[in-house]
Chains A and B, each alone.
Chain A
């Protein structure tokens, strides 16, 4: 499976949400306030094993 590693476009419209990505990260298959809801949406779209990520209000700059 070829993975999409450029998430700069597909994630930018979901600030402050949990997002479920398809297994190859090519598309958003769930958006919700809680991970469980995003997973349910993914399952309804026949994505049994989505990848979860939280989208912040601003990805900003991290110095950890």
Chain B
């Protein structure tokens, strides 16, 4: 059965910049999720990122649900800066908006400059039809399986 629900954008601190001198905060499609491994779970903020191929989280978050991070399958990937990074993939569950999905997610020790986990195409966008409404700061998700 398909499930449909809405989540809110979140506002984060931002410094004014030359092209955006009045900017004091920034709204992003960042949502609270839970990462689940058996009986363990941890809640985390994650960015819904259509430009990301996979779901990637900080390694320290994976350790909170008992994962042996480096025992997973390793993937090298590239950030926008072009630097090579590594993530180790594990089968977990994600809970978002009260809806639980399976996810083969990566965990990386190279994300420390990134504030959020990343919800990407494989593992998230393949589980939901997603509509972004920036003006209303709402994200609508409709499950497509799982």
Contacts and interface: CB of A to CB of B under 8 A. Distances in A.
Given A60-B14, A64-B49, 18 more contacts: A5-B8, A7-B12, A8-B11, A8-B13, A8-B24, A8-B26, A18-B60, A25-B10, A35-B58, A51-B44, A51-B45, A54-B58, A54-B115, A56-B115, A60-B15, A62-B28, A64-B47, A64-B80
Interface of A is mostly: loop
30 contacts: A5-B137, A6-B10, A6-B11, A7-B12, A7-B13, A8-B12, A8-B13, A9-B13, A18-B60, A35-B63, A36-B60, A36-B63, A36-B64, A39-B42, A51-B43, A51-B44, A51-B45, A52-B44, A52-B64, A53-B115, A54-B112, A54-B116, A55-B115, A56-B113, A56-B114, A57-B113, A59-B26, A59-B115, A60-B14, A62-B47
Interface of A: 3, 5-9, 11-12, 18, 25, 34-36, 39, 49-64
Interface of B: 8-15, 17, 24-26, 28, 32, 42-45, 47, 49, 51-52, 58, 60-61, 63-64, 80, 112-116, 118, 137
Contacts of A58: 15
Contacts of B26: 8, 59
Contacts, number: 85
A63 to B, nearest CB: 6
Given A8-B24, A39-B64, A53-B45, A63 B116 contact: no
Contacts of B58: 35, 54
Most chain A beta carbons < 10 A, residue from B14, B51, B137: B14
